[in-house]
């Protein structure tokens, strides 16, 4: 019997801590007050379906192996490998963006122009990630206490502070950089602003990791829906008002995706004559960013190693050192991050490079989510009638409807991701699209080629024994 029992409050904190992020606020703030519409739309068609389906999968299938186990059982081992690969490689593209956010905070503190220096950002990203990799190779994982400190210092305090400053800005009658009329909030269908769905959806990713704890609730069928509702409200409030706080004080065309948080704090502090707080904010953001990288750097590689042990990757990918760290995969991950960081040199602006990595990470993640929603429909039919864990209320039909909504909510941003943002200087559209499509195709072909190579190796090993 599982003796762990989580309260509703604990479930809420785990869920919000796994999804909420201050890093994405500048990306959504660039699209003005219409972000309110997009966040609500994304919550209805992506966040809530993701939470419900992944919680049901975790509750009915167990948490061992996670997405790899769920998709493998429903769609076959090759599809399971693709799912865990997409989850892993999405994180690999995510690392340069979170570290660019860290580099932007450091650069803005030293000299604001450094936040727009491609070489400075790339240097900080590479040094920081390899340092974190070597630390994890030695088995020095962050403790729960350190993780909580990073979450409070680097996420909760800055998030609450910027929301409070934005609210004070509005209450004191300062001029606003965005309007709040119906025309401003509801975008036109032909408007290029729909590309903002990419950044909004990515802000909600990660729910499937938090929902593995749904089965540990005191009363899963009662407590988890309540925790989910509270979590969705907290996420919507913090992300919407945090983004709006930046949008009201900075013109959209001047918001840097890398240092937009620091720009906003600078504008607020200058108006309220407390610029001396800016270095403290920068340190807090750096702590939060590095804490996030430290927490995530080894978990996805362990998930991929689970697939490697099942024969989907070369034998070298199974290696662990004496501290239990997957050495080959960690080194491979660091090499890929180093290569990906070169994206900051390939496009004319830091914003364009940052958005390219964000769009690519989002598309890869959406591929995984589409597989997860299909698995949710397939595996729901196998749940016994007397099952007492968490299930989506309404039976098979409700699960199918929720999964179809979630699948659609993943497919649309995947397709929209191919549209370059009109509000950013991306240079040559052909170069931007070539990098995006080339990166996406390459990241899909790599696991497929690995599967084919492993099958040939297996067939070659079996053939001599069959010929005897």
Q: Which residue has the tokens 């930046």?
A: 246
Tokens, residue 84: 């865990």
Surface-to-core class of residue 331, CB atoms within 10 Å of its CB (0-12 exposed, 13-18 middle, 19+ buried):
middle
Q: What share of the chain is helix, strand, coil (3-state, %, to 5)?
A: 75, 0, 20
CB atoms within 10 A of CB 113: 10
**Distance between CA atoms of 27 and 265, rounded to whole angstroms?**
16
Tokens, residue 55: 């919680």
- The DSSP code sequence of 300-344 is HHHHHHHHHHTTSS-GGGG---TTS--HHHHHHHHHHHHHHTTHH
Q: Classify the C-alpha dihedral 244-250-252-257 as positive or negative.
A: negative
Q: Buried b vs exposed e over 216-238: b needs ≥16 C-beta within 10 Å?
A: bbeebeebbbebbebbbebbbeb
Tokens, residue 347: 């496009």
Contact 261, 105 (CB under 8 A): yes
Q: Classify the C-alpha dihedral 335-202-391-80 as positive or negative.
A: negative
Q: Buried b vs exposed e over 349-359: b needs ≥16 C-beta within 10 Å?
A: bbbbbbbbbbb
* Beta-bridge mates of residue 217: 6
CB-based contacts of 442: which residues, under 8 Å, 6+ apart?
A: none
Tokens, residue 319: 């290696």
Q: Which CATH architecture has domain 8-461?
A: Up-down Bundle (1.20)
Query: Which stretch of DSSP H or E encloses residue 359?
Result: helix 350-380
3-state DSSP assignment of residue 37: helix
Contact 165, 171 (CB under 8 A): no
How crowded is the C-beta side of 342, counted as CA atoms within 13 Å?
Answer: 7
User: Running DSSP on this structure, what letter comes out for residue 347?
Assistant: S
Tokens, residue 435: 């990098």
pLDDT of 69? 87
Domain ranges in the chain are: 8-461
**Distance between CA atoms of 356 and 151, rounded to whole angstroms?**
27
pLDDT of 142? 44
pLDDT by residue, tens only, the chain of 468 residues: 444 566 777 777 777 776 777 888 998 898 888 889 999 999 999 999 998 998 888 888 865 557 888 999 999 988 999 999 998 899 889 889 888 888 888 888 888 888 888 999 999 999 989 988 887 787 544 444 555 677 778 778 899 999 999 999 999 988 899 888 888 888 776 656 777 788 888 888 877 776 666 666 677 767 777 887 888 888 899 999 999 999 999 998 889 888 899 999 999 999 988 989 999 999 888 888 877 776 677 767 777 887 888 888 888 888 888 777 788 888 999 999 999 998 888 888 888 888 899 899 999 999 999 999 999 999 998 888 888 778 898 889 999 999 999 999 999 999 998 988 877 777 788 888 999 999 999 999 988 888 888 777 766 666 565 555
pLDDT of 466? 54
Tokens, residue 385: 């009638």
3-state DSSP assignment of residue 6: strand
pLDDT of 468? 57
Q: How far is CA 400 from its chain centroid?
A: 25
How crowded is the C-beta side of 6, counted as CA atoms within 13 Å?
Answer: 22
Q: Buried b vs exposed e over 257-268: b needs ≥16 C-beta within 10 Å?
A: bbbbbbbbbbbb
Single pTM value for the model: 0.86
Query: Which stretch of DSSP H or E encloses residue 424?
Result: none
Q: Which parts of 172-216 fold into alpha helices (H)?
A: 182-185, 197-203, 207-210
pLDDT of 191? 59
**Distance between CA atoms of 114 and 326, rounded to whole angstroms?**
35
pLDDT of 110? 87
Surface-to-core class of residue 174, CB atoms within 10 Å of its CB (0-12 exposed, 13-18 middle, 19+ buried):
middle
């Amino acid at each position: 019997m599982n003796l762990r029992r989580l309260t509703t409050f604990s479930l809420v904190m785990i869920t919000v801590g796994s999804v909420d992020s201050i890093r994405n606020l500048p990306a959504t703030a660039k699209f003005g007050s219409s972000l309110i519409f997009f966040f609500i739309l994304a919550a209805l068609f992506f966040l809530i379906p993701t939470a419900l389906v992944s919680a049901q999968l975790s509750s009915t299938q167990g948490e061992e192996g996670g997405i790899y186990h769920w998709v493998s059982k429903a769609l076959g081992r090759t599809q399971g490998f693709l799912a865990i690969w997409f989850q892993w490689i999405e994180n690999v593209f995510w690392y340069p963006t979170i570290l660019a956010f860290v580099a932007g905070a450091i650069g803005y503190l030293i000299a604001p122009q450094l936040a727009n220096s491609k070489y400075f950002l790339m240097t900080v990203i590479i040094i920081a990630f390899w340092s974190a990799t070597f630390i994890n190779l030695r088995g020095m994982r962050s403790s729960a206490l350190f993780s909580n400190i990073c979450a409070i210092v680097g996420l909760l305090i800055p998030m609450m502070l910027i929301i409070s400053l934005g609210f004070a800005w509005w209450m004191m009658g300062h001029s606003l950089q965005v309007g709040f009329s119906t025309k401003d909030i509801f975008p036109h269908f032909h408007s290029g602003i729909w590309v903002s769905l990419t950044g909004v959806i990515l802000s909600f990713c990660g729910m499937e990791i938090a929902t593995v704890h749904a089965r540990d609730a005191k009363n899963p069928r009662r407590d988890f829906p309540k925790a989910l509702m509270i979590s969705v409200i907290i996420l919507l409030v913090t992300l919407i008002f945090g983004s709006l706080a930046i949008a009201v004080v900075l013109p959209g065309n001047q918001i840097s995706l890398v240092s937009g948080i620091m720009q906003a704090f600078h504008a607020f502090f200058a108006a309220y004559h407390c610029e001396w707080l800016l270095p403290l904010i920068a340190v807090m953001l750096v702590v939060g960013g590095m804490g996030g990288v430290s927490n995530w750097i080894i978990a996805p590689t362990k998930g991929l190693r689970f697939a490697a042990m099942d024969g989907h990757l070369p034998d070298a990918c199974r290696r662990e050192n004496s501290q239990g760290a997957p050495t080959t995969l960690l080194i491979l991950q660091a090499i890929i991050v180093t290569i990906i960081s070169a994206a900051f040199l390939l496009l004319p602006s830091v914003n364009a490079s940052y958005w390219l990595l964000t769009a690519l990470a989002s598309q890869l993640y959406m591929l995984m989510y589409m597989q997860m929603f299909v698995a949710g429909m397939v595996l729901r039919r196998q749940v016994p009638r007397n099952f007492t864990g968490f299930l989506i209320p309404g039976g098979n039909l409700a699960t199918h409807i929720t999964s179809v909504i979630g699948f659609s909510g993943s497919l649309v941003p995947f397709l929209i991701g191919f549209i370059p943002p009109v509000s950013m200087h991306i240079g040559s559209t052909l170069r931007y699209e070539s990098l995006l499509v080339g990166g996406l195709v390459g990241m899909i072909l790599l696991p497929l080629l690995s599967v084919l190579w492993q099958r040939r190796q297996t067939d070659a090993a079996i053939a001599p024994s069959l010929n005897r």
